[in-house]
């Protein structure tokens, strides 16, 4: 890959007491690519993307976005910088509506005095936009937009979380196991969604344990092991069982 990476991390360390979740981990994401991150349970994949998305503060290490150093103090700052994340636990508020959830933390206010003085939310605008986004992504029928998220099925919730990230991400979209809770059909839909987002030119980080999914959509595969990047492989040059062997330590990684 000749271009400069859009997002990099060098020497990230994150310790939780005696557990070292990230042990001098490196990371590179290139423009327009789908980068899969795979690794055993507890390898530190979620910790890695949480550090990138501002949800945890690494103890050591540096990150850059488009060549400029970044130090996110909260998920909000990462979002403002254009990095959207679908967390493993989805981060939706069950009792709030689909529209409220999609706009949580970036609500639209009414124009004029009602908005600036009385801070009134523009429900209509938010619902219209949410509906447009979900329809565009083929995830929702129209009448359901003000329904509480907790009344949705697991797959539908996942759809809302993915749509939220896809709708607002302007530089990078990160998805932590977006198909974990989904059936075959819904997983397929999310994979299509990843392709759609990629077509819009956005790079995507996909964390997944599902090797067929990974090999279907990924341009490169970042293998994480024991808190650090073990290697990065090209899915056309290796098989799934190779990847699993590297990931579990059964086989030595190729020299990179």
Ligand X SMILES: Nc1ncnc2c1ncn2[C@@H]1O[C@H](COP(=O)(O)OP(=O)(O)OP(=O)(O)O)[C@@H](O)[C@H]1O
Q: Which residues bind Mg ion (CB under 5 A)?
A: 46, 88
Pick the closer one to another protein by CB: 70 or 232.
Answer: 70
118 near ligand X (CB under 6 A): no
**Contact yes or no for 19/47 (Cβ under 8 A):** no
19 near ligand X (CB under 6 A): yes
39 near ligand X (CB under 6 A): yes
Q: Within 10 A of 198 (CB to CB), how many other CB atoms are there?
A: 17
Q: Which residues contact 119 (CB under 8 A, 6 or more apart)?
A: 109
Pick the closer one to ligand X by CB: 64 or 88.
Answer: 88
What pairs with residue 88 in β-bridges?
A: none
Task: Please count the residues of this chain forming the interface with ligand X, following the rule CB under 6 A.
Answer: 12
Compute the least distance from the CB of residue 62 to Mg ion, in Å. Answer: 23
Q: Please tell me the distance from the alpha carbon of residue 163 to that of residue 103, in angstroms, as a whole number.
A: 11
Compute the least distance from the CB of residue 111 to another protein, in Å. Answer: 15
Q: Which residues contact 205 (CB under 8 A, 6 or more apart)?
A: 29, 35, 37, 49, 52, 172, 173, 174, 175
Residue 116 near which of ligand X, another protein, Mg ion, none (CB within 5-8 Å, type-dependent): none
44 near ligand X (CB under 6 A): yes
User: Residue 136 has which token pair?
Assistant: 């565009």
Q: Please tell me the distance from the alpha carbon of residue 83 to that of residue 8, in angstroms, as a whole number.
A: 13
The mark string for 73-92 relative to ligand X (x by CB under 6 A, - otherwise) is ---------------x----
179 near ligand X (CB under 6 A): no
Residue 66 near which of Mg ion, ligand X, another protein, none (CB within 5-8 Å, type-dependent): none
Q: Where are the alpha helices (DSSP H) in the chain?
A: 45-52, 75-80, 98-102, 113-116, 123-136, 154-168, 184-199, 211-217, 240-248
Q: Which residues contact 165 (CB under 8 A, 6 or more apart)?
A: 84, 85, 86, 173, 174, 175
Compute the least distance from the CB of residue 147 to another protein, in Å. Answer: 8
Q: Which helix (H) or strand (E) holds 173?
A: strand 172-176
Binding site for another protein (CB under 8 A): 55, 74-76, 79, 85, 87, 89-96, 100-101, 104-107, 109, 118-121, 123, 134-141, 144, 148, 150-153, 156, 159, 184-185, 188-189, 192, 195-196, 199, 216
Q: Can you tell me which of 45, 213, 228, 229 binds ligand X, judged by CB under 6 A?
A: 45
58 near ligand X (CB under 6 A): no
43 near ligand X (CB under 6 A): yes
Residues of this chain that interact with ligand X (CB under 6 A) are: 16, 19, 21, 39, 41-47, 88
């Amino acid at each position: 890959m000749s271009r400069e990476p859009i997002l990099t991390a060098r020497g990230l360390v994150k310790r939780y007491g005696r557990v070292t979740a990230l042990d001098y981990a490196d990371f590179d994401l290139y423009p327009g690519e789908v980068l899969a991150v795979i690794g055993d349970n507890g390898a530190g994949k979620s910790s890695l993307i949480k550090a990138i998305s501002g949800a945890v503060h690494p103890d050591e290490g540096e990150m850059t976005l488009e060549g400029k150093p970044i130090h996110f103090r909260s998920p909000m700052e990462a979002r403002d910088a254009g990095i959207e994340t679908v967390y493993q636990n989805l981060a939706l508020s069950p009792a709030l509506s689909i529209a409220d959830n999609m706009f949580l933390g970036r609500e639209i206010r009414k124009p004029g005095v009602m908005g600036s003085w009385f801070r009134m939310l523009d429900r209509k605008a938010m619902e219209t936009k949410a509906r447009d986004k979900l329809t565009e992504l083929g995830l929702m029928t129209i009448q359901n937009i003000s329904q509480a998220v907790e009344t949705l099925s697991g797959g539908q919730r996942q759809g809302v979380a993915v749509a939220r990230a896809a709708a607002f991400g302007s530089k990078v979209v990160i998805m932590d196991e977006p198909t974990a809770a989904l059936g075959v059909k819904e997983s397929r839909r999310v994979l299509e969604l990843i392709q759609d987002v990629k077509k819009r030119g956005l790079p995507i980080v996909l964390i997944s344990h599902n090797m067929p999914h990974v090999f279907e959509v990924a341009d490169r595969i970042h293998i994480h092991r024991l808190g650090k990047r073990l290697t990065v492989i090209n899915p056309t040059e290796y098989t799934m069982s190779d990847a699993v062997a590297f990931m579990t330590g059964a086989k030595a990684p190729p020299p990179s």
